[in-house]
Amino acid sequence: MYVVLNVVVEQRYYITSLSKQYNEALSTTLSQTLMVNPFEQECYEYFVLRTKYDVRFFVYGYTGQADIYVAARNEPEGPKSNRVHLRAAFGSSTSVAFSPADRKDLVGYSTGTYWVCIFAYSPFSGLLVTQEADLTGRYDLQDSVILTKWVKQSEYFYSRYRNSAFASRGVLHINLEVAQSLGEDDEVPFIQWIVCKSPIWSECELTSA
């Protein structure tokens, strides 16, 4: 790129430039390397194809701190934009999940364009992984990777966890946090658990214990 300046009046001029890379659309088969400058937003587009599949975006942070949030249809202007539908909890590695019902009832449509955005507070690098699969609203948890999701009123959501160090004894720490302020009659969702009798998802039910 060349910048040609035809100076008519002799003065002191300054040329500044600002470049922004064009981010390619996300794919479930390729992970996306992230490099985000402080106080800038980088957004990636993903087209949800299947009405009955769950969608999950993972951000594994290597360095720096950033907000991760998802908007539907239109790219948000920043982390505080009212286009943002779901914001991941703050943490170095995090994920956000949308079930088909979440997308239909709370976003308004189950297929179409979603934007995953990263707003960095310090030089941020990481990896963005996209998953679209028939998870039937059940999500595998990875150690120390936060999962953020809506839970509708009087409803459950289910997760499953295992660890390669389970051959030894230890303690499983489970933290659940809600993002909004609660009224007097509201309660933080309950946590219930069992040890699965089988490693097959469909054979592990709360009632089977």
Partner 1 sequence: MKGPGMLKNQYTRHLEIEHDPSACPSKDDPSQCYYLLAFYNKNSTKIMTTSVRVHFQSYDPGDIDLTKEYQNVVEYGAFFNYEINPAVNADIQPFIKSLKVKLTTF
Give the distance from CA 95 to its chain's centroid. 4
d(CA 52, CA 110): 8
**Which segment (20-28, 29-37, 121-129, 153-161) binds partner 1 by CB under 8 A?**
153-161
Shortest approach of partner 1 to residue 158 CB, angstroms? 5
Residue 98 tokens read as: 């949308």
Does residue 5 interact with partner 1 by CB under 8 A? Answer: no
| Binding-residue total with partner 1 (CB under 8 A) | 69
Q: How far apart are the first and last CA of the chain?
A: 66
Other beta carbons within 10 angstroms of residue 36's beta carbon come to 20
Residue 73 tokens read as: 């249809």
Site string for partner 1, 94-113 (x = CB under 8 A): ------------x-------
**Which segment (20-28, 30-38, 87-95, 124-132) binds partner 1 by CB under 8 A?**
87-95
Shortest approach of partner 1 to residue 94 CB, angstroms? 8
Give strand ranges (E) for 3-51.
32-36, 41-48
**SS3 category, 103:** helix
Does residue 171 interact with partner 1 by CB under 8 A? Answer: yes
Shortest approach of partner 1 to residue 172 CB, angstroms? 4
Residue 102 burial by Cβ neighbours in a 10 Å radius (0-12, 13-18, 19+):
buried
Task: Provide the residue type at 179 as one letter.
Answer: A
Comparing CB distances to partner 1, the nearer of 15 and 167 is: 167
Contacts of 123 (CB under 8 A, 6+ apart): 36, 37, 38, 63, 64
Q: Which of 3, 4, 15, 167 binds partner 1 (CB under 8 A)?
A: 167
**Which segment (7-15, 112-120, 124-132, 190-198) binds partner 1 by CB under 8 A?**
190-198
d(CA 141, CA 159): 6
Does residue 160 interact with partner 1 by CB under 8 A? Answer: yes
**Which segment (30-38, 68-76, 114-122, 182-190) binds partner 1 by CB under 8 A?**
182-190
Residues that bind partner 1 (CB under 8 A): 86-89, 91-92, 106, 141, 143-183, 185-199, 204-207, 209
